[in-house]
Structure 1
Amino acid sequence: MRDDRRTRVIVVAFLMIVLCGLLVWAGTLESDPDRNEFPNENDFVMSYDAYVGDRVQVGGTVVETDPVVFVVTTKDGDRMEITAVSFEGDPSVGDEINVYGTLETEQRVIVIDSYTREPWERYYMYAVSFIAGLWVLVRFVRGWRFDRDTFAFKPRTEARAETEEQYG
């Protein structure tokens, strides 16, 4: 295979087109319970009775703990309080929970599996990921340079010289 700038541009453009096509194709697929994709609050809030008896996956914020009641909010801003029946665990008011279970009448879900997350955990995850991303970016920029002639990344010779002096 030829190793020049034009070939690399064509290959990168081709791979980007394939990636965009696969993303569009994935967006056209429907939910399939056999693939562990279950209806969520965006599906059943507007037509609740149609989903009674089905397994659902839903998440929201705890507003009451005995019994566990949580509020779900759809993309459209509609809200619904749902009672979690057979919930194992001890969530606090304000915690975020995700529940997998069977949807029942009277806005109840019989819990099969669930997990609870405190509100600060999401911000911690984003902060740690951001710091790690910056660290990787700095390491990449310090160790590599972009060669416009070959349209490729190449190791920086200064970084190699510093490393060789440091470690022999």
Structure 2
Amino acid sequence: MLTTPRSRVAAVFALLSLLFGLCVWYGALAPAPELGAHPDQEDLLGQYDAYVGDRATLTGQVVDTDPVTVVVTGAGDSRQLTVTDLSTPVREGETLWVFGVVEPGRTVRAENAFTVGSGGTRYALSASLLAGLWVLARLARQWRFDAEGWALEPRGGERDAPGFGRLRTLAGREDEDA
């Protein structure tokens, strides 16, 4: 158990370093369709012809509906691609996510697709913000920070914290005073 502030800081530093390393490693992975990692719009913008006949995923803004044309962007570049065999109704201005087969002539034959309205991102960010604030409020109400031990402790002691009696019961430990 980590009991000193120095060991806790070292543990947090080690975990954050590991997280950073995993993010760098993941970002360095190349497309591997056999593992489910298909090329995306950045790969298509760089070497479109190399992926003809392969499955790919792309996201773009719908700029025309007859035929369905999307603008895909990435790495400082943007291009228009035509999407065929689309069963999802689309409107100009929506964001279209497509999984399909790359074909010659800047065309992608859709196998699966869905649209996200212009408010989709705002809604997701707002819901995440509210959920985060709710969790922080619960944390502030039910826990306190012990600066001496660099630890979170239940307010009023362990027995007064909501849910702790139930947790001990679920863990199979009886209350010591019973």
1:10 matched to 2:10? The reply is: yes
2:108 corresponding residue in structure 1: 109
Distance (whole Å) between structure 2 residues aligned to residue 129 and residue 52 of structure 1: 38
Q: Residue in 2 aligned with 1:166?
A: none
Query: For 2:149, what is the secondary structure of its paired residue?
Result: coil
Matched AA of 1:104: E
TM-score of the superposed pair, with normalisation by structure 2: 0.80
CA separation in 1, counterparts of 2:29 and 2:47? 21
State the match for 2:86 in structure 1.
Answer: 87
* Superposition deviation, residue 106 in structure 1: 1.3
Residue of structure 1 equivalent to 2:144 = 145
Rounded to whole Å, the distance in 1 between the matches of 2:2 and 2:99 is: 52
Counterpart of 2:43? 43
**C-alpha displacement at 1:94, in angstroms?**
0.7
TM norm structure 1: 0.84
CA shift for structure 1 position 20: 2.7
Q: Which amino acid aligns with 1:127?
A: S
| Corresponding position of 2:135 | 136
Per-residue deviation, 1:2? 6.2
Mean alpha-carbon deviation: is it higher for 128-137 or for 27-36? 27-36
Unaligned runs of at least 5 residues, structure 2: 163-178
SS at match of 1:45: helix
Gaps of 5+ in 1: 164-168
1:157 matched to which residue of 2?
A: 156
Deviations 1:87-128 (A, max 9, x none): 002111111101111111111111111111111111111111
Separation (CA, whole Å) in 1 of partners of 2:88 and 2:75: 28
Aligned residues: 161
1:53 aligns with 2:53: yes
Stretch deviating more after TM superposition (38-47 or 2-11): 2-11
Tell me by how many angstroms 1:43 deviates.
1.2
Kindly state the Cα deviation for residue 137 of structure 1 after the two structures are TM-superposed: 0.9
Give the alignment's Cα RMSD to 1 decimal: 2.2
Which letter maps to 1:47?
Q
What SS class does the counterpart of residue 60 from structure 2 fall into?
Answer: strand
Letter in 2 for 1:38: H
- Describe the shift of the 1:2–1:105 C-alpha distance in structure 2 as closer, same or farther (beyond 3 A): closer
Give % identity.
38
| Number of the residue aligned with 1:70 | 70
Task: Give the structure with the larger helix fraction.
Answer: 1
Distance 2:152 2:12 in 1: 14
Q: Which amino acid aligns with 1:129?
A: S
